[in-house]
Every structure is written in structure tokens, then in C-alpha cells.
Chains A and B, each alone.
Chain A
Amino acid sequence: MSGFPILSLMLLVPLAAALACLFLEAKPARNLALAATLLDFALGVVLWANFDIGGAQWQFTERVELFSGFSYALGIDGIALLLIMLSVFLMPICIGASWKSIDKRVGEYMAAFLLMETLMIGVFAAQDLFLFYIFFEAGLIPMYLIIGVWGGADRIYASYKFFLYTLLGSVLMLIAMLWMANTAGTTDIPTLMAYDFDPHVQTWLWLAFFASFAVKMPMWPVHTWLPDAHVQAPTAGSVILAGVLLKMGGYGFIRFSLPMFPEASAYFGPLIWGLSMAAVVLTSLIALVQHDMKKLIAYSSVAHMAIVTIGLFAFNVQGLEGSMLIMLSHGLVSGALFLCVGIIYDRLHTREIDRYGGLSINMPRYALFFMLFTMASVGLPGTSGFVGEFLSLAGIYQVSTWATLICATGIILGAAYMLYLYRRVAFGEQKNADAAAMADLDVRELLMVVPLGIAVLWMGIYPESFIAPMRADIAALDARLAAAKPEGDSKVAMGKEKPVHEEVSAHEGAH
């Protein structure tokens, strides 16, 4: 595969299709969008199949020098590969989800989604600081349009809130990037990842990046755009927002904050822990009292993302790998849950939980998949949700037992709000006649949920497929962080009468 610009091709396919969609009628636009996203997914599979695990850190690199240091540089490591796979996997499902529910301005809608796909892949593939920035920020525009044009009744407020929050962060990040480029004399991301910035300056740079990534993540207390954005976005918009856009924050931490500013990351670790702990408890409790299905899942996303951030800032392999797995799993599971909401929204046109009930009776297949994704969200072992959560919490336990305890309450509260949701939607009597008359999943919908279900189980039973590509990259990151690693609060100390050699082994166990 060497030499063939597959990444550029993956960027180009949706972009070309997006341009074409602008000039097409509804029906051909749908078909073209589906074809293009499926082709991109196929390219993604080729990409994964040819990714050399254990080979060079950066593969499929492409580089075209443009002007004054700014270059069109692409390339991926295992982390980027997995997130690109997640994006191209979710895209055809999003097109499928919009197949019937979008009937105005279909061409433009499809174009927006396809453009979105190009930008998402670009974010994960970019190797140039400013190329990354362009992809990262431009991603706002199609999403802003998707919410603002095809959204619900309150779409203007939601899209404006979304824009305002994210813009705030990005301005600061741009300034930091400019400073970095000037200081390090390069915009090459791999080089910057190994560049040692002055620890004092790191603090400011870290904060600037943090402003952007924390909003994207989103972390408490800058999360309030998310519930509104989700509620107003069309189904596919929610899927891609929860599935991929939120992952850009986590990716940013992993790609920039941690390797470029390790000392600052360690310094601000407790801040992240505090915000994450607050997020888990507060947003889980808020999710418990929601009446709107999408809002509930949106708040649960904030809680899950908090486990990601705390795992990332655990500074060890389990925490980092766990966080990556949660991001992938959450991409699938929350996407699937929003899809499940969309499926019944298409039938009844309400997100009000109380308008449903007893769906297990008239929609048994739907109930099965909804249960599967609910359990994955709850983190049941054997589903994708468990592995990441477990590793992430195991990672933070080595650093702070308090943080672990508080964050682990999320598994209790998560079970409570998800099962309470499921109970109100799928269990109980069929108290609403219109909900009781809804038809079960049709073929189109099954084609969307079945792949998601398989992926969720696959990642839960054999996550090695997903850990293997990133193992070396995480190990490298862990090594980069080793110097700054904070000391754990649960160190083992042997009793007096024990021989010395056991003490050594105990400390080895602790690290």
C-alpha cells in the first residue's frame, strides 16, 4: 500500500460527493451519499487491514509542502486509525437514519454530512498543526448548519449555544498554536509531540488547549451546550455529534495536551479529576430526572466522557487504553441509543418518555436492541462499555482511590437512570394507544442497529482487536509521561517483620 494516498482518497470521496449532492434531487442525493459513505467505509477497512501493527508509529504518511512551513501532511497511528474507523463506520448508519426523516433540502443535508465526514477524517489524520486546526474548527460549520437548519423547534438557540461555547475555546487554542509554531519552529505534530516546552510556558499552553478540548468533550461545567444541541439536532446529527465530535476532545488531550505538555498535564491532573468527579455525580443525577429521552442520553454522555478524562489523566497504560476504549464504545453505544430514540421519534414525533410505554409488546425486536445498548451503556461485562470503564477506573485507582470511588458511583447511578428509562419506554402497560400501534423495526432500521449490536459485542468479548493497533502508541505516550507521573495514594508498605525482597515486589506491583 505504500505510496498510495489512501488517506487523501478517503478525504476526497465524501468531499466530491458533497459537492455533487448540492446539485442533486432528493432521491439521487440519498443514493449518492450512501454510496460514498459505504465506499469510504470500505476504504477504511482496507486501511485497517493494511495497518502494520507493531510497525512504524506513523503510517500512510503523505506530505505536500505548501507555503512557509504550512504543509498538507497526513498520517495516522493506531489511535487515529481507530477513531477514523469509528467515523467511517457510523457515517453510512447516519445516512440510513436520515433516509426518510429528512425531506426538505435533502441535497444540502447530505452535502453537510459528507463534508462533515471529510472534516472528521481530516482531524484524525492531520499531521500539521494548522491543518488539524482547520479540520477541527471547520467541523463546527456543517454541524452548526445541521442543527440550525434541520433541527427541532428551538434549533436556533441550540445551534447558537453550540457555536458560542466551541468558538470560545478555539480562539485560545489558535493563539497557543501560533506561539508553539513560532517557538518550536515547526508545525509538524509528531515533532511537536516530542518537543520539550518550557514547563512554565506549558501551563499556559495547556490551559489554552484545555479550553477548547474541555468544551468539545464536554467537561463539567462547560457541558450545557450538549443537551440542547442533542435535543434539537436531527437523529443522525445526534449520532455523529455523540459518536465522533465528542471524541475530538479526547483525541485532543491524547494527541496534544498529554504528550506536548506532560508536566503541565501532571500539574493540572487534580483539576481534571475534580471536574470529572463532579461531572459523573452531577450529570448522572440530572439524567435521573429527565423527561426527554435525548436529554437523558446527552447527560449520560457527559458522565461517560468524565470517565474518559479521568482515565487519560491517570498517567498509566490502563487509564489511557481504557479511555480510548470508552471513546470507541461510547461512539457506538450512544450513537446506537440516539438511533433508538430516533426510530421511535420517527413514529410518534415526541421525545417525551411518558408518551411511550410497553414497547416490548408491539416492538420486541426493538426492545431487544434497546436492551443491548442500554446494558452496554450501563457497562455490563461482555459489552463494549465494560472494558473501557474497567480499565480506566483501574488506571485511576493506582493514582487516587477517592477519585475512583466517586467515579465508580457512576456505575450505580448509570444503572439507575438507564434502567429507569428502559422501564418507562419498553416495560409497563401500553398506556398510550398511538405508541402501542407502532410497528416493529423494518429492514432499513435493522440494517442500522444490527451492525452496531455486533460491534458492541465484539468490542466487549474480544477487545484485543481494538487494543492491538494502539498498544505501541499508548506505550509510547506512557513512556513520555513517565517522568511527570504523579505518585499514587495507595502505596503498599510491608510490615516490619517481612523480608526486604518482598517489599521490592510490592512496589513493582504498585506501578
Chain B
Amino acid sequence: MQSILLIVFLPLLAAIIAGLGNKQLGNVPAKVVTTGALFIACALSWPIFISFLTGSAEATVVPVLTWVKSGPMAFDWALRVDTLTAVMLVVVTSVSALVHLYSWGYMDEEPDQPRFFAYLSLFTFAMLMLVTADNLVQMFFGWEGVGLASYLLIGFWFRKPSACAAAIKAFVVNRVGDLGFMLGIFGTFLVFGTVSIHEILQAAPGMAGSTIGFLGHRFDTMTVLCLLLFIGAMGKSAQLGLHTWLPDAMEGPTPVSALIHAATMVTAGVFMVCRLSPMFETSPTAMAFITVIGGATCFFAATIGCTQWDIKRVIAYSTCSQLGYMFFAAGVGAYGAAMFHLFTHAFFKALLFLGAGSVIHAMHHEQDMRFYGNLRKHIPITFWTMTAGTLAITGVGMFGVGFAGFHSKDAILEAAYAAGSASGSFAFWMGIFAALMTSFYSWRLVFLTFFGKPRWAGSEHIQHAVHHHHEDPSEEAGHDNHVHNPEGTAGYHPHESPLVMLIPLLILAFGAVAAGYVFQHEFVSEGTGEFWKGALVFHEHLIHAMHSIPELIKWSPFIVMVIGLVTAWYGYIRNTRFPAAVAEQLGPVYTFVYRKWMFDELYHYLFVVPAFWLGRVFWKQGDVGLIDRFGPNGAAWVVAKGSTYAQKVQSGYLYSYALVMLLGLVGAISWVIAG
């Protein structure tokens, strides 16, 4: 199991080499080093995963270095490998390796490539530290480390003001969650006297029913701890309330969105809840809270996804929504299902993002789907792989055979229904509605992008590209006509992406097709407890309950999927005036959803504006107007008045003051001696 050291630290080493080497090293060596490191890490991760699949591996901890020893608070750098980690290892290293490869093509024209690849590898290192954490503080290290990498990558194109703003927003909003996480760690240490995850989980059941003081009131101990930790998870996994950074994070290059904001980093919150599942199990209140937040998020994000025009934002809200599924699965106790969906989602969502990247690449950086259309004939491989991803996310399948999302999402919905609790039912219905909308917005994306007539002429990016190629005044004249007529190709010819971009798409498409069917027995069926080996809580009885739910409930995800598909087909292929008419009818409701439920505006006026206003008040009125005025300046005024007659003995030179000071000292000391 020593290979885990290589898996984790090779990406760090590669990041350091590429980052410090930067321009001197050159593009190709930097790319070879980072991508090579990731493929090695990936090749080493799969055997670990397979050894857990076959049941031949045991959980181990590989110590690395002492970190902090402060009284009873002690924690080390150590790498823990168990089933849960093994699952995350393959997800992180596989997607990361493929994204590295994909970026060879996608970032080909970028002048700053070593920096980009260094950031990607740095991110992977931090993520691996997170998933291998043996104590809460190392998890926090990874947690903040991925936050840093995310900040750097969102702001990769740092000349763009919007990218800078999005990067800061991502970091600061995440910090709000991290504040909860930190308080959770403090509280956990206070209660258990340790931050070792293993020891905490063993002691957690014994604390059920106890109470703890927090902010002057007394609460159930485990509820307080779990909710504080969960606030951290909400920030990282963009759950309702702390989600506002995720859509803006799309300012980063698309491979980044695929790796960080779809497949890996944003699932860290789900991972954390699963990792600490024995702890969360002790607090029904916290579990219900997680279920409700998850259910609400999956619904709310899906509504926004239905209205957006930017291809990446649609997928971003889709991610937000799918994370909601994972959370309410965990909330009802189906941790296996949550991890299963995390696993399959990593493949198909990375695929969708990379596919979107391929479309954007082909369309000369245009991201607005209103200017797409008819692309299936021009970029067929992208089209087919994205269709595979769409079939996976919408959960197409029946009689136990289907695309990846079919197995994992249905398991989640069944578990929520089978849980029988009020929060579980709420989440189930939210999940069903969200599934309907998932199907709708996913097919809407496909239809708008790949079907219908080309609408490229309306795009400034396309116009720009066309003009770049033909510097001809006669074309210039034709340009104006095109702008007023959104349909047409404007003479633009989209090209399929290079092979380095298509290979990752094809591999991920394979995953999106098969990952659900192949691994369903390991993640969510009877006897799965053997696979998990106690790495998370597994409720055998919930699996049984899932098998005995009514047939109609079992079929409901399929039914809503078909409804969504048909609606999208009708609105975006059959009768393309229909969506606008619906939007018109809905009026303010549509605007509210389109403006993302007004969260950004709300937070702006609730937090950002007052913070700056208060800062100015405390500075000008507080420090300058009050403290200085009556403090030193007031004293100066008194001194100045009093010393007018003593002026003659004062030279005004600085050293004379120093001299007086020293004389005073000598005097004081003499007094001591005399006394």
C-alpha cells in the first residue's frame, strides 16, 4: 500500500516542477511532467480499488510526518486507504488524468500553459490529501487546498475582471463554509479529545443523547457538531445558500469546470458526510437537515438550469442539483447510494463538461446556446459522446439495465421513498420533480446545440472568427445583414476537436454507459457491507425496503424522464416558439428563476455593500473621528497649549526628545537605587 505515497505526492512534485519551471521549462516538458504524473497515479490507483472490490485489501494508514502536537491536540500527516478512499482515488486520478490530457488540445493556444498544468496537478494533490485524510485537520488542509487551486484556476484568465471576481467569490463563500467546518473541528476536539477520524467515529455513538453548550444555549451534542461540519460541506458542495460561487466559477477554463466543479472538488462535501457517517447517524436532526437541504438544492438548481442559455451554466446548475441528490441520499442513510451517484456522476458530468468544451472549442469560444444549432453533422464524435452523457444523467434504462445515472439516481430516489420519514418524502418528491427538469434541461441542451438550423451568425465570437479569416471589405458589408438575421452559418465551419480531446471524451463516454451497471452490486445491493468494510455506515434494512416499494414509485423516475424528453423535443425541435411563449406567460416567475432566484442580488445588498459601508464608517468615524480626535490629537492639543511657554527650552530636534527620555530613565533608576 506504499504506492499511495506515490499517488498523492507525484502530482505535487509535478506541480512544483511545472510551476517553478514555468516559461523556462517550456510548454511541452511541463505538460509531459504533469500529465505523466497523473497517469502514473491513475495506473496505481485502479489496482488499489480492484483489490478492495475483490475483498483482498484491508484499510491501512501510511504515516508521513508529524504535523502538530499541542497538548492533547495532536495530528499527523498520514494517508488512510480504505474502501471509501479507494473509490475516491479512482474517481480523482482518472478524471484528473483525462482532464490533463484533454487540456493539451483545449489549452493549445494558451501562452501560459505550464502555469495551468501546475495548478491542475496542485489541485489533484490537495484533493488526494483530502480523500486520504486520517484526521479532521488534514481533511481541512485538503479542503482549503482544493479551495486555493479552485481560486487560482477560476482566476486563471486573471486579466478578465469577471474571472477575478468569480475567483474571489469562490474563495470567500467557501470560507464561510470553512468557518463552520473549523468550529466543528473545535467542538469535536472538545467533546472527544481527539481529531483522529477513526477514534471520533468509534466514540461517537457513546455521545448520543448528551448536551453541549453552544453560544450560550444548550443543544444536543452530536447535532451541534454534525451541523457545524455540514456547513463546511454545504460550502464546498455548493448547497442551497452557499451555492452562489459555483455558477460563477464557470469563468475558469472548461477542463477546470469538468475536473473541479463537476467530478471531484464539489463532491468533497458528500465524501465528508459519508466518511463521518457513523457520527451523523447519531443525530436524527442533522440527518433530517441534510435531507431537506439536499432535496431543496436539487429542486432549486434544476429550475434555474431549465432557463439558462450559457451551456456551461446549465451544466453547472445541473451539478449543483445532482449534488443535492447525493446529499439527500446520505441524509436518509443511503450512504452507499450517495457514493454510487458520486462515482457515476463523476464520469458523466466530466463528460458533459468536456463535451461542452469541445463544442465551445469548435464554436470559437461562443458559449451561448442560442447561437448554436445543427452541430451534430459538424462535430459528430462530440455529439455522440455528449448524447451518451445525457442518457446517463437523465437516467435512461429499464428492467435493471441502463446508463450510469439510471442505476445510481434510481437507487437514491428509492432509498428516499423507502426511508419513510417526512424529510425523506420531501426529498423524494423534490427529487422526482428535479428528475423531470433534469431530463428537460439536458435534452434542451442537446437539441439547442446539435439539432435544428444553425444560428451561428448572431454570435459575436463567430463573426469575429470569420472576419479574422477573411479580411475582405465585401465580407464586411455582408456582416451587418447577418447580425439582424440570427439564423445561418455566417460562413463559419466548425471543426471536430483534436484526438487528445476526443480520447478522454470516448473513455468517459464508456464510463457513462457502463459504470452504473458494472458497479451497482458493489455500491447498492445486499451484502454491500462487505465491500465497504465499515468505511461508511451501511443499512442493510434500507436495501430491503428499497426492493419492496410500489411499482409505480419504481417507474416514476422513468416516467418523468420521458415527459422531460418529450417536452424538450416539443419546445426546441417541433415548435421553437413555444418556450418563449411559456416564459412570457410565466412573467415574473420566469424572471425570478432566470435571475437565479435573486441570490446574488440578495447577498450583494445583505453582505457586500454593508461590509464596505461599515468599513468606511469604522475607519473615518471610528478610528479617525473618535479615537484619534480625542486620543493622540486631543493630547497633542493639550500639550501644545501647555507648552507654549516651555518652548524656549525645546529645540524641536528629535534627538533632544530621545535625550529627555533617557534622562528620565536614568532618573527613575536612580530613584530605585536610592529606595
Contacts and interface: CB of A to CB of B under 8 A. Distances in A.
Partners in one complex: yes
B619 interface: yes
B672 A489 contact: no
Contacts of A462: 65-67
A498 B158 CA distance: 57
Contacts of B631: 221-222, 224
A98 interface: no
Contact of B209 (A405, A413, A494): A494
Nearest to B653: A148
B158 A178 contact: no
A130 interface: yes
B627 A145 contact: no
A343 interface: no
Interface string B184-209: 01110111110000000000001111
A411 B180 CA distance: 11
A413 B614 CA distance: 13
B632 A224 contact: yes
Nearest to A316: B71
Interface in A471-511: 471, 475, 478, 488-495, 497-498, 502, 506, 508-510
A506 B68 contact: no
B141 to A, nearest CB: 4
B84 to A, nearest CB: 22
Contact of A411 (B73, B161, B182, B665): B182
A148 B145 CA distance: 43
Given A182-B675, A288-B611, A412-B179, A360 B191 contact: no
B427 interface: no
B555 interface: no
A285 B615 contact: yes
B612 interface: yes
A165 B191 contact: no
A165 B632 CA distance: 7
Given A285-B614, A397-B186, A419-B172, A492 B69 contact: no
Contacts of A405: 183, 215
Contacts of A398: 186, 190
Contact of B658 (A145, A497, A508): A145
A420 B168 contact: yes
B22 interface: yes
Contact of A397 (B70, B187, B206): B187
A405 B158 CA distance: 33
A411 B70 contact: no
A391 B213 contact: no
B356 interface: no
A85 interface: no
A358 B164 CA distance: 11
Contacts of A224: 623-624, 627-628, 631-632
B619 to A, nearest CB: 4
A346 B655 CA distance: 28
| Contact residues on B (Cβ < 8 Å of other chain), bracket | 35 or more
Nearest to B148: A380
A405 B77 CA distance: 27
A427 B164 contact: yes
A434 interface: no
A316 B73 CA distance: 11
A390 interface: yes
Given A393-B186, A412-B175, A423-B164, A380 B193 contact: no
A462 to B, nearest CB: 6
Q: Which one of B208, B616, B665 has the highest number of Cβ atoms from chain A below 10 Å of its Cβ?
A: B665
Interface string A43-85: 0000000000000000000000001101000000000000000
A188 interface: no
A194 B183 CA distance: 35
A506 B207 contact: yes
A429 B182 CA distance: 36
Contacts of A286: 615, 618-619, 622-623
A509 B192 contact: yes
B566 interface: no
B145 A402 contact: no
Contacts of A137: 661, 665
B623 A141 contact: no
| Contact residues on A (Cβ < 8 Å of other chain), bracket | 35 or more
Given A224-B623, A358-B159, A401-B214, A161 B632 contact: yes
A259 to B, nearest CB: 18
Contacts of A402: 215-216
A462 B64 CA distance: 11
A353 to B, nearest CB: 14
A130 B183 CA distance: 43
A40 B491 CA distance: 73
B572 interface: no
Contacts of B628: 224
Contact of B189 (A159, A394, A478, A489): A394
Contacts of A225: 632
Q: Which one of A144, A360, A478, A492 has the highest number of Cβ atoms from chain B below 10 Å of its Cβ?
A: A492
Interface stretch (A9-17, A24-32, A263-271, A317-325): A317-325
A415 B183 CA distance: 17
A150 B23 CA distance: 39
Interface string A134-167: 1001101100110011000000000111011101
B212 A491 contact: yes
Contacts of A149: 654
A482 B623 CA distance: 37
A463 interface: yes
Q: Which one of A163, A419, A475, A488 has the highest number of Cβ atoms from chain B below 10 Å of its Cβ?
A: A419
B578 to A, nearest CB: 43
A478 B655 CA distance: 43
A375 B662 CA distance: 42
Contacts of B669: 70, 130, 134
B218 to A, nearest CB: 8
A178 B672 contact: yes
Interface in A346-393: 358, 360-361, 364, 368, 375, 380-382, 386-387, 390-391, 393
Contacts of A140: 661
Contacts of A412: 172, 175-176, 179
Interface string A154-196: 0000011101110100000010001001100000000000000
Interface in B503-517: none
B261 to A, nearest CB: 19
A428 interface: yes
Q: Which one of B190, B208, B622 has the highest number of Cβ atoms from chain A below 10 Å of its Cβ?
A: B190
A20 B68 CA distance: 44
A380 B144 contact: yes
A19 interface: no
A149 B615 CA distance: 32
B210 interface: yes
Contacts of B672: 68, 70, 130, 178, 181
A498 B186 contact: no
Contacts of B155: 423, 427
Given A130-B669, A405-B183, A412-B176, A428 B161 contact: yes
A282 interface: yes
B172 A415 contact: yes
Interface string A436-459: 000000000000000000000000
Interface in B146-185: 148, 151, 155, 158-159, 161, 164, 167-168, 171-172, 175-176, 178-179, 182-183, 185
A289 interface: yes
A382 B68 CA distance: 11
Given A282-B622, A322-B70, A492 B190 contact: yes
B170 to A, nearest CB: 10
6 nearest A-B residue pairs (beta carbon): A495-B209, A317-B71, A509-B193, A397-B186, A289-B615, A381-B141
7 contacts: A224-B624, A380-B148, A416-B168, A464-B69, A475-B71, A492-B207, A506-B210
Given A178-B675, A317-B72, A321-B71, 6 more contacts: A67-B673, A164-B635, A224-B623, A224-B627, A317-B70, A402-B216
